[in-house]
Amino acid sequence: MGLVSRRNWGFGRGASSETSGANGFRFFPFVLLLLAFSALGQAPSVEKVEPPSWWAKHTINPVRLLVRGQNLADVKVVSRSASLKVSNFRVNERGDYLFFDLAISPTAKTGKYVIDAIGRNGRARIDFEILPELDQRTNFQGIDSEDVIYLIMTDRFADGDRSNNSNVDRSNPRLWHGGDFKGITSKIPYLKNLGVTAIWLTPWYDNTNEITTCDKPWCPMASYHGYGAIDFYGVEDHFGSMADLREMIRVAKSNGIKIIQDQVANHYGYRHPWLTKPPTTTWTPPFEQNRFNNSSLLSPNASRNDRDNTLWGWFDFSLPDLNQNDPEVRKYLIQNALWWIGVTGIDGIRQDTIQYMPRDFIRDWSLAIRKQYPKFWMVGEVFEEDPVQTAFFQGGKKGWDGVDTALPSVFDFKLWRTSQEVFTGKKPMRALRDVLKYDGLYGDVNNVTVLANNHDTDRFMSLPGATKEGAKLHIAFVLATRGIPQLYAGEEMLMEGGHDPDNRRDFPGGFAGDAKDKFIGAGRTADEREMFEWTRNWIDLRRKNVEFHDGETTDLYYDNDAYVFRRSKQLVDWTSYAIVAFNNSDKPKEIEIPFVLPGSLPSGTVDFKPLISDREKITLGEGKLKMVLAPKSAIVYGY
């Protein structure tokens, strides 16, 4: 397979029409004849139907079904109901996958339906269900800059159901630890008390239960993280059932907390049946290690070889790539995203490794979701510390390729890294302003997601030079700057953790036998209580003051020690303002800034109100704003 020319795999403009049929199928009449002959006397069978359900009044109609089974080469697909009509039938060369469009009447009643796959030697039953629509008033609400996102690795947060703890070994950081949906449900009061308004959960697709063994340092290892799906329509049994997932979502929403699902449309787990028996010959590219030359995607001058490797190269042997240029793959992935939204009522999607998929696929995926759910929100992981690269993937502007991805948000990895470097003493304060000067590159900078940390990065307190004071200022900056803030479970408690998987330690108190319970105040040290209260206060500040919601940022002062900026938001008949000031030095900082009263305020009057104060002094007179900032401090004044 590795010797097959990439031109014959449907990639880019070089897909060969000489060896491929429509939709990426290759036809070998002699092989098909042999398959048909060998299937004589064997009845067709059905193993899996994807998607297993849909909705009567959906923007995607007909829906494309993928059916896996055996002896399907000669079947005819017939619906038993006039409400469901079958068309555009295809079967792959092995006869183990068939595709067909299913048109659903807008008057079709909710309930279960049967479609028959009829062959010469029998028939197989294809079960399908029409689902009721969830209430749009409480579901699919999207995420915006009024929200604060909290990232949870389900396996590492809390264990609420020990009956699903198969292969659990908490002594090994690469194996299952037992966290689940019921555990998260039990901790919703903690999250509500902290003040977060959305939780992002790492993937809950079903992953293999097998333990991978090898002679490498990372073995043995399990798929506790969720990024190696073996069933894109299944729920990971270590986490619970679909009913458990829905109950967790219900409880979260009843407490004002939205849900973001981590999806993976770029690759799948190597134990998925697709690897050895792909539905089409162009479903998965032949193995080639990705060289991660990511700038080849940004540059119109990149060679086709570099760009193809970046798009179609595998992460490693265990994560086979998906070919989104195969029309069947494209439809499958778009429908899969919509199905999860429709059956759970989630409010957002974090799309893993999004830059390794074609930009026109990102556009089609984004538009299809927003067409059905106009408020819905998606953020793509473009793990690059170059604002030009990350901005290239956010929607709102066309790139050199003429494509506007229509993707609402991307992560600002450059600002994250710079904030860490500043507050661990590696860079001066002015470095933050030097990143924010690139804000004009984004289609919508207020919809950029600003992370404090995530599950792929070293925790702040394990960085060289990290201190409690630096951690506090880092969190404060993430919550005060433009965009949508995203925290990582445990940062509010000064949790430590180095390189992966050390950065994925269990949340203390979420598991039976834990010596300390950090979910309650009595289980925290004095420093942990201080950090928790600090984080909660800054979250509360952001939520209560509209100038932090999709407002404007104006630089007022910056040097090696301090950064002062204004956040402002134009309302119907007035503008709301806040001054945010950071002093990262070990000494008090005196700052004098020329200050002109905004036109929305009466001439000669201004009333500064401390929103968050920390031993500061601030005065206004003679057209100048004077501040005395305490060492290692952050203040916010509104006016």
Q: What is the pLDDT of residues 277-293, one digit of tens each?
A: 999 999 999 999 999 99
Q: Provide the pLDDT for residue 12.
A: 41
Helix or strand run (H / E) with residue 129:
strand 122-130
Q: Are 75 and 124 in contact (CB under 8 A)?
A: yes
Mean pLDDT, residues 210-224 taken together: 91
Over residues 571-599, the pLDDT tens digits come to 988 889 999 999 999 999 999 998 876 66
Portion of the chain with pLDDT greater than 90, in percent: 85
Q: Would you place residue 632 in the very low, low, confident or very high pLDDT band (cuts 50, 70, 90)?
A: very high
Smallest CA-to-CA distance from 611 within 632, 588, 580 is with 580
Q: Would you place residue 230 in the very low, low, confident or very high pLDDT band (cuts 50, 70, 90)?
A: very high
Q: How far apart are CA 152 and CA 136, in angstroms?
A: 25
Q: Are 510 and 570 in contact (CB under 8 A)?
A: no
What lies within 8 Å, CB to CB, of 159 at 6+ separation is: 165, 177, 178, 179, 180, 183, 510, 511, 512
Residue ranges per structural domain of the chain: 39-130, 149-201+240-266+346-544, 552-638
Q: What is the mean pLDDT of the chain?
A: 92
Q: How far is CA 307 from CA 158, 263, 264, 383, 465, in A?
A: 41, 23, 20, 17, 38
The pLDDT of residue 414 is above 90: yes
Q: Which single residue is written with the structure tokens 């079960």? A: 127
Q: Strand, helix or coil at 190?
A: helix
Mean pLDDT, residues 493-521 taken together: 97
CATH number assigned to the domain covering 39-130: 2.60.40.10
Q: Are 211 and 220 in contact (CB under 8 A)?
A: yes
Q: Would you place residue 27 in the very low, low, confident or very high pLDDT band (cuts 50, 70, 90)?
A: very low
- Which of 232-246, 263-277, 355-369, 565-579 bottoms out in mean pLDDT, i.e. has the lowest? 565-579
Looking at 3.40.109.10, 3.40.50.1370, 3.20.20.80, 3.40.50.960, the CATH number of the domain 149-201+240-266+346-544 comes to: 3.20.20.80
Portion of the chain with pLDDT greater than 70, in percent: 91
Over residues 31-90, the pLDDT tens digits come to 454 455 554 569 999 999 999 999 999 999 999 999 999 999 999 999 999 999 999 999
Q: Provide the pLDDT for residue 621.
A: 76
Q: Would you place residue 23 in the very low, low, confident or very high pLDDT band (cuts 50, 70, 90)?
A: very low
Q: Strand, helix or coil at 491?
A: helix
Q: How far is CA 510 from CA 163, 248, 318, 327, 416, in A?
A: 16, 16, 30, 44, 28
- φ/ψ of 143, rounded to 5, equals -125, 145
Question: Whole-prediction pTM value?
Answer: 0.93
CATH number assigned to the domain covering 552-638: 2.60.40.1180
Q: Are 39-130 and 149-201+240-266+346-544 in the same CATH fold?
A: no
